[in-house]
Amino acid sequence: MTSARERPTLEEVARRAGVSRATVSRVVNGSTTVAPTIQEAVRRAVRELGYVPNLAARTLVTQRTDSIALVLPETATRVFSDDPLFPGIVRGVSQELEAADRQLVLMMAGSVASHDRIERYAMGRHVDGVMFASMHGLDPLPGALTRIGMPTVCSGRPLTVAAAEPNGIAVAAAEPNSISRALVPYVDIDHVAGVTSAVQHLLDGGRQRIATIAGPQDMVAGIERLAGYRQALRGSHRRSIVAVGDFTRESGALAMRQLLDDDPKLDAVFVASDLMADGALRTLREAGRRVPDDVAVIGFDDAEFARYTDPPLTTVRQPIIEIGREMVRLLLRLAENEPVEEALILPTHLVVRDSA
């Protein structure tokens, strides 16, 4: 077994390639200022000798780790559940980082202790940038990292201010005075436009009592989709009928039972995620309600399973994988000190199937 002392050194690579140690160092660290013929001679010597760079020393020279963190403020149980958000985001991020020859560091912050550990890790410059997805509440970490010069990007507009109504449901966070200008660049979708297209589809179908199962009101996605529902009903002389879930299938089933108890005559429901919509479909079947004859159902996400529900789910498609890719592109521009827009907003699309 080869010991660390027997490993080839930069000096040995330099002698084999017939160049200086400094030239080898520049090539190994990715410099583009070395002539192509010399680069090839160095790389050939590296291969022949089996030279492996000292990553710690390389980081000191380049001030780069070539690693990017993706922080998910969720428990491992939630991340590795059947929620389509997480694998979609990770897939998009991984694809783009691989193309950029960067390493993904996946970090979950589902507790106070894990959040503190991630904060210390990021503040210690162990990564070249940090991306956040599935954020809850007023998390100060993205702003703190931005202020110390760490390239930081969020999936979804960072929540800064959200007032609450007496019933505990947040007011429309899409209003200008509800969420202030973000300190942290972000990639998001047009939630309000997506929900408006869904509710308008129900209105055009003659539905009279349109309810919603909203997402968690400590997340911008949940807040803005509820705002979109209310905005779409405005002017139609139909009242809001609201229950709140947490983007899980179980919460959708429970919320649907609550809605049926509150208004047994409801004839449509917009659900803020496909998982919750699947739970709602189960409750409607158990209650003897036919979909879409008695109650039309529309979800949000266009998850893979949406086409296989009973009946196939009409839903708002959001480009989850592309969100991940765009987060990386934005982060890498920040890392190169290139000017970036504060927000990149991607479009949604209503996919009509049999449930509405």
- The whole-angstrom separation of Cα 251 and Cα 257 is 10
d(C-alpha 171, C-alpha 139), whole Å = 19
CB 195 within 8 A of CB 228: yes
pLDDT band at 321 (very low <50, low <70, confident <90, very high): very high
Percent of the chain's residues with pLDDT above 90: 47
Helix 191-204 to helix 220-233 angle, to the nearest 10 degrees? 40
350, 198 contact by CB (below 8 A): yes
- The pLDDT assigned to 205 comes to 95
Q: Is the pLDDT of residue 181 over 50?
A: no
Phi, psi at residue 189, to the nearest 5°?
-115, 165
Q: Which long-range contacts (CB under 8 A, 24 or more apart) does 22-30 make?
A: 25/61, 28/53, 28/58, 29/58, 29/61, 29/62, 30/62
Domains of the chain plus CATH, in order, are 4-62 (1.10.260.40), 67-189+321-346 (3.40.50.2300), 191-319 (3.40.50.2300)
CB neighbour class for 9 (10 Å; exposed up to 12, middle 13-18, buried from 19) = middle
Q: What is the pLDDT of residue 4?
A: 43
Q: What are phi and psi of 176, to 5 degrees?
A: -55, -35
- Top pLDDT among 139 and 32 is at 139
- Say what the pLDDT of residue 273 is: 96
Answer whether residue 227 shows pLDDT above 80.
Answer: yes
Query: Whose CA is closest to 99, among 328, 339, 346?
Result: 328
